[in-house]
Amino acid sequence: MSDTRRLQVLRAIVEDYVHTREPVGSKALVERHNLEVSPATIRNDMAHLEEEGLIAAPHTSAGRIPTDSGYRVFVDKITEVRPLTRAERRAMDTLLETADDHEAMLEQTVRLLAMLTNQVAVIQYPQHSTAKIRHIDVVKMHPHKALTIVILSSGRVEQRMVTLSDEVEEEMLARIGQRLSEQLYSRSVSALPLPIDSLIGSIEPAAQPAMAVIAQAVEATLEAGRVDRIIMSGTANLAKSGGDLGPSIAPILEALEEQVVLLRLLHEMQQEHHGLSVRIGRETSHDSLAETAVVAAAYGEADGAKLGVVGPTRMDYGTTMSAVRAMARYLSRILSEG
């Protein structure tokens, strides 16, 4: 939407609706915001916004509320995310300094984020085994199938069957296993992804197609052994938003409790702008979260480490985005110093 004034009207509607929970009319916009145009002009702008699907009338009143698309435009047009206030930073320092170990620090972080945003705060963090790769074998099972065997320093043996497009002789599979063992010996199983291109280039051209498939199978085997955890705080805040969510709150609480849906969503969310990722309504691609918005940011250096907030689509996006980004950056700095 290129019209600057209509964007201002949309922003005003979002801000008013977030704070009042009431549909917003043209008269209220004139009284509360310095838009410097007549109510008739604002009504015309609102009509255009409604035609574009950015606002809607919840009932026959003159007021309008933002749609998911309206929230999306609003979020995308936020030009900057404000820093935390001095009081918020002091609270962050105090709570995190009292943590006496890594997990306690994460618990303090998520508790503070829930307090700052009045939403459900979550931290996803990967728990990697400390084991290292000791040996890799590749054994021919059928003309187009091979078994990859990964032996770890912990004594665990991981296996995965792979399908090859062309038949590969036993001697070539043995060389692939030997080369993988040489290249990956003593590599931590948490050091993912594997250097697939380098591994493919380390063997003769005839064996490279098979090496590509087998190396990817080894990587998938190691990834499957990783367990992600979620720490959550503030579910009571979601319950307080029952007026926004209505009957939708039950499946949301179930999804949060089961964690599988949330883990999948956080894994799918990639950094977009301002160092954040925002999914609104149906953008979550999960029916149970269709009435929510999720704001997340990566923290630290571990793959899959995310910090975020879940709340109703009628959330204060500016404040929430600010808090999530600041907490993620702060947590990253603390972890790097530790």
- Measured in Å, how far apart are the chain's first and last C-alpha atoms? 46
Q: pLDDT per residue over 227-268, tens digit each?
A: 678 899 998 888 776 566 766 788 888 888 877 788 888 888
Q: Any idea what DSSP says for residue 286?
A: -
Over 80: is that where the pLDDT of 173 sits?
A: yes
Q: How far is CA 100 from the centre of its chain?
A: 27
Cα 231 from Cα 136, distance rounded (Å)? 35
Give how far Cα 96 sits from Cα of 6, 100, 212, 300, 319, Å.
Answer: 43, 9, 44, 15, 20
Sequence-separated (6 or more) residues with CB below 8 Å from residue 150: 133, 135, 136, 157, 158, 159, 218, 221, 222
Full-model pTM: 0.69
Q: Work out the angle at residue 6's Cα, subtended by the Cα atoms of residues 5 and 8, and round it to the nearest 5 degrees.
A: 65
Rg (CA), the chain: 26
Residue 36: predicted pLDDT? 79
Percent of the chain, pLDDT > 90? 43
Q: Which of 286, 145, 162 is nearest to 213 (CA)?
A: 162
Question: In this predicted model, what pLDDT tens digit does every residue of 155-171 receive, in sequence order?
Answer: 788 899 999 999 999 99
> Would you state the torsion angle of the CA atoms of residues 36, 39, 40, 46, taken in this order, to the nearest 10 degrees?
90
- Pairing mode, strands 306-312 and 157-163: unpaired
Q: Which of 95, 117, 113 lies closest to 105 in space, CA to CA? A: 95
Beta bridge partners of 227: 127
Domains in the chain and their CATH numbers? 4-76 (1.10.10.10), 86-128+227-337 (3.30.450.40), 133-224 (3.30.390)
Q: What is the pLDDT of residue 83?
A: 73
Instruction: Name the band, by pLDDT with cuts 50, 70 and 90, for residue 1.
Output: very low
The pLDDT value given to residue 88: 78
Weakest mean pLDDT among 123-137, 176-190, 289-303, 309-323: 123-137
> What mean pLDDT do residues 14-29 have?
89
